[in-house]
């Protein structure tokens, strides 16, 4: 039986190998969010990977709004049992179900909405959360967003709605890695105090300082769960390091959307032990 | 002379409102969302009778589209309501990614389409929406002609799985469709049979086409009038069957030539049976303020313009 602590290293290996094969994809944010995905899918989420249903009744739901970090989503879904781990080798290749950005179009289990064009996932999650309320379904809806993604206006339309209408079965997480394509978020467009902004929109704001510490993420998600059902949507501002887990990729925007070459892959994999078996 | 009588002019948006209310009573899975235009869209009756199934999003159309997509996850059938301009161009990427590409069962219901929105002017008079929406893979596009047909189309959409765009308008126009006529998605209606030319019309221009057929009959010209209320999937067979008989077509719509019914008819004929086409449509320009009748006259979207186009196409 695999330990939850075995997953992050293996998922990082998957991410690196997935983007290396087509020499295309987004490893930086994926590696920064590996502990989040591990904590969510292997500890917190009440879900049913062996019998995926689009309507997700009687399950917790997760929506990835920053769809470019699809490698970490695909690895996590496969290793949760949504589809065969071997399929990870098809990422971004012609005729794959593992499109560059996630889609429902090809029937990939575990994906309920297309994402990639940024800023849309929070609205979708709000709708799904309202559907749960209409259905009398007490399960929760989770989302993940990039911090750069919060520059999209639709996020704040959704934030205003969720706060005003008390959508309190929703837990959004912001991957606050401080990086986006053109540089740091402060260089590109400083966003100020994100927690204060969400609070001003009527959200219950939690801060997670160590988003690459698996136990800290698990604790934060569990804590967030206890804040639901109290009249406010919940957001976790989660600090992570882009590219975490490989020393030469960590803490910079340079690996946002760049794949490692053969030499870089070898050096990176040497820092991520094969804990659960490569695909 | 065509056999249809105006049972009393009504706005097509009220047909939508009546259809939505009936759906609310008939189908417990139907929910509705509106971005601060509940009165204009005639959604108030639904909102009042089914407050738990009505979502007022405020002036946030992008969010409304995403939320509608989310509501389908869990089995609900959302109908969104706002003006056509804000239902399409403003939120095209949200519709494309979260609804069309994601194959979500969302019904995008759009009022105040075209020039007949009137005095508010060009900012609100979208004339490109049919083109925008019919380009999206998997999107059904419906443009009913009158109150009764809009009501029937609204009801039919709830039983049709998949993303759909329903376009209607603001002014009171002739209501001639029988109240008990069911709407069949994808099927065009031959309203008047004729032999000299085909008038292919959609939306508010269908009644004008009927009136034009009377004027043409008075000149000894036999026009076949077809109501293409479903733009997509297009009823290719109905068009070809008619053109095999008449050999020429006038299209009529409250939309740009580019991207509308005219384009579609010309494309279809070009591929299957080349024939002369004249288009009654807006010719690559924006609208402006004015009364609906003044605007339809100035931009050449009425029975008179259809008659002129018919005489022209007859000599080609």
Of B68, B75, B97, the CB nearest to A116: B97
pLDDT cut 70: percent of chain A above it: 100
Distance CA B56, CA A46 (A): 30
Q: Would you say the C-alpha torsion B90, B84, B229, B184 has a positive or negative sign?
A: positive
Block residue for tokens 């062996």: A50
A158 part of contact set with chain B, CB < 8 Å? yes
| In chain B, domain spans | 10-173, 189-314
Helix (H, G, I), strand (E, B) or coil at B226: strand
Per-residue pLDDT reduced to its tens digit, B30-48: 999 999 999 999 999 999 9
Q: Do A113 and B68 touch (CB under 8 A)?
A: no
Question: Cβ of A158 and B53 within 8 Å?
Answer: no
**How many angstroms separate the first and last alpha carbons of chain B?**
25
CB–CB of B63 and A157 under 8 A? yes
How far apart are alpha carbons A11 and A34 in whole angstroms?
7
The mean pLDDT value for B268-283 works out to 98
B52 touches chain A (CB under 8 A): yes
Into which CATH architecture does domain A12-269 fall? 3-Layer(aba) Sandwich (3.40)
Question: Looking at CA atoms only, how far is residue A111 from chain B in angstroms?
Answer: 10
Mean of the pLDDT values across residues B5-21?
Answer: 98
Using an 8 Å Cβ cutoff, are A172 and A236 in contact? Answer: yes
Which residues in chain A come in under a pLDDT of 70? Answer: none
Averaged pLDDT for residues B112-141: 97
Looking at residue A235, its pLDDT comes to 98
Active-site positions of B read 61
Q: Would you call B62 an interface residue with chain A, using a CB distance cutoff of 8 Å?
A: yes
Tell me the nearest-neighbour CA distance from A63 into chain B, angstroms: 10
* Paired sense of beta strands B164-167 and B54-56, if any: unpaired
Partner-chain contact B76 A105, CB within 8 Å: no
- Chain A CA closest to residue B53: A134
What's the CATH architecture for B189-314? 3-Layer(aba) Sandwich (3.40)
Residue-level pLDDT at A252:
87
pLDDT of residue B146: 98
CA of B26 vs chain A CAs: smallest distance (Å): 17
A126·B31 Cβ contact <8 A: no
How far apart are the C-alpha atoms of A11 and B58, rounded to whole Å? 41
A139 touches chain B (CB under 8 A): no
Rounded distance between C-alpha atoms, residue B98 and residue B105, angstroms = 11
Same fold, B10-173 and B189-314: yes
R_g (Cα) of chain A, nearest Å: 17
Nearest residue to B88 (alpha-carbon basis) of B72, B121, B119, B112: B112
pLDDT over 90, % of chain B? 99
Mean pLDDT on B235-246:
98
Q: According to the model, what pLDDT value does residue B22 have?
A: 98
Q: Does B63 touch chain A (CB under 8 A)?
A: yes
Nearest by Cα to A145 from A228, A32, A222: A32
Task: List, in order, residues 6 or more apart from B134 with CB less than 8 Å away.
Answer: B141, B231, B232, B259, B264
pLDDT tens, residue by residue, A128-153:
999 999 999 999 999 999 999 999 99
What's the CATH superfamily of B10-173?
A: Thiamin diphosphate (ThDP)-binding fold, Pyr/PP domains (3.40.50.970)
Cβ distance of B70 and A135 shorter than 8 Å: no
What pLDDT is recorded for position A251?
Answer: 86
Per-chain mean pLDDT for chain B? 98
* Candidates B28, B74, B101, B161, partner chain A, best to mutate (most A CBs within 10 A): B74
Contact A55 B75 (CB under 8 A): yes
Q: Across the interface, do A124 and B57 touch by the CB < 8 Å criterion?
A: no
B65, B71, B101 ranked by CB distance to A131: nearest: B71
Tokens of A97: 């179900």
pLDDT of residue B1: 87
Q: Which residues of B touch A135 (CB under 8 A)?
A: 74-75
Provide Rg for chain B, Cα atoms: 19
Question: pLDDT by residue (tens digit) across A78-88?
Answer: 999 999 999 99
């Amino acid at each position: 039986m695999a330990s939850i602590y075995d997953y992050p290293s293996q998922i990082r290996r998957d991410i690196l190998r997935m983007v290396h094969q087509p020499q295309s994809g987004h490893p930086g944010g994926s590696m920064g969010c590996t502990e989040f995905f591990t904590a969510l899918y292997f500890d917190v989420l009440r879900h049913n990977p062996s019998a995926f249903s689009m309507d997700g009744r009687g399950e917790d739901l997760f929506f990835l709004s920053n769809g470019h970090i699809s490698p970490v989503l695909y690895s996590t879904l496969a290793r949760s049992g949504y589809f065969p781990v071997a399929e990870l080798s098809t990422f971004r290749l012609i005729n794959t179900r593992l499109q560059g950005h996630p889609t429902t179009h090809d029937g990939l289990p575990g994906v309920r909405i297309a994402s990639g064009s940024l800023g849309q996932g929070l609205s979708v999650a709000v709708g799904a959360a309202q559907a749960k309320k209409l259905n009398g379904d007490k399960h929760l809806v989770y989302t993940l967003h990039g911090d750069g993604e919060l520059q999209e206006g639709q996020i704040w339309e959704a934030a205003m709605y969720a706060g005003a209408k008390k959508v309190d079965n929703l837990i959004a997480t912001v991957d606050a890695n401080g990086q986006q394509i053109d540089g740091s978020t402060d260089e590109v467009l400083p966003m100020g105090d994100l927690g204060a902004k969400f609070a001003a929109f009527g959200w219950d704001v939690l801060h997670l300082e160590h988003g690459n510490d698996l136990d800290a993420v698990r604790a934060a998600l569990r804590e967030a769960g206890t804040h639901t059902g109290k009249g406010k949507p919940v957001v976790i501002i989660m600090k992570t390091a882009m590219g975490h887990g490989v020393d030469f990729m960590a803490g910079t925007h340079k690996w946002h959307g760049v794949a490692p070459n053969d030499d870089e892959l070898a050096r990176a994999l040497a820092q991520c032990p094969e804990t659960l078996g490569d695909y | 002379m065509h056999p249809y009588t105006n049972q009393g002019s009504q706005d097509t948006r009220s047909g939508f409102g009546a259809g939505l209310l009936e759906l609310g009573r008939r189908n417990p899975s139907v929910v509705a969302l509106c971005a601060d235009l509940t009165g204009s869209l005639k959604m108030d009756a639904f909102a009042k009778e089914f407050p738990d199934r009505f979502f007022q999003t405020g002036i946030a159309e992008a969010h409304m589209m995403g939320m509608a997509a989310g509501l389908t996850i869990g089995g609900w059938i959302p109908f969104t309501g706002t003006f056509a301009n804000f239902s399409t161009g403003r939120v095209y990427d949200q519709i494309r990614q979260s609804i069309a590409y994601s194959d979500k069962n969302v019904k995008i219901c759009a009022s105040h389409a075209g020039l007949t929105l009137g005095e508010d002017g060009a900012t609100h008079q979208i004339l490109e929406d049919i083109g925008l929406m019919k380009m999206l893979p998997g999107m059904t596009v419906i443009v009913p002609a009158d109150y009764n047909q809009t009501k029937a189309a609204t009801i039919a959409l709830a039983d049709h799985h998949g993303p759909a765009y329903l376009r209607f308008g603001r002014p009171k126009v002739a209501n001639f469709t029988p109240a008990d006529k069911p709407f069949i998605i994808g099927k065009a209606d031959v309203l008047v049979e004729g032999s000299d030319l085909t008038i292919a019309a959609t939306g508010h221009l269908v009644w004008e086409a009927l009136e034009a057929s009377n004027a043409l009959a008075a000149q000894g010209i036999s026009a076949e009038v077809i109501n293409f209320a479903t733009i997509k999937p297009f009823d290719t067979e109905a068009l070809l069957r008619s053109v095999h008989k008449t050999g020429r077509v006038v299209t009529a719509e409250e939309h740009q030539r580019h991207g509308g019914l005219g384009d579609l008819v010309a494309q279809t004929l070009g591929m299957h049976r080349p024939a002369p086409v004249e288009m009654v449509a807006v010719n690559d320009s924006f609208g402006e303020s004015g009364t609906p009748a003044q605007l339809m006259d100035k931009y050449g979207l009425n029975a008179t313009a259809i008659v002129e186009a018919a005489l022209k196409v007859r000599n080609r």
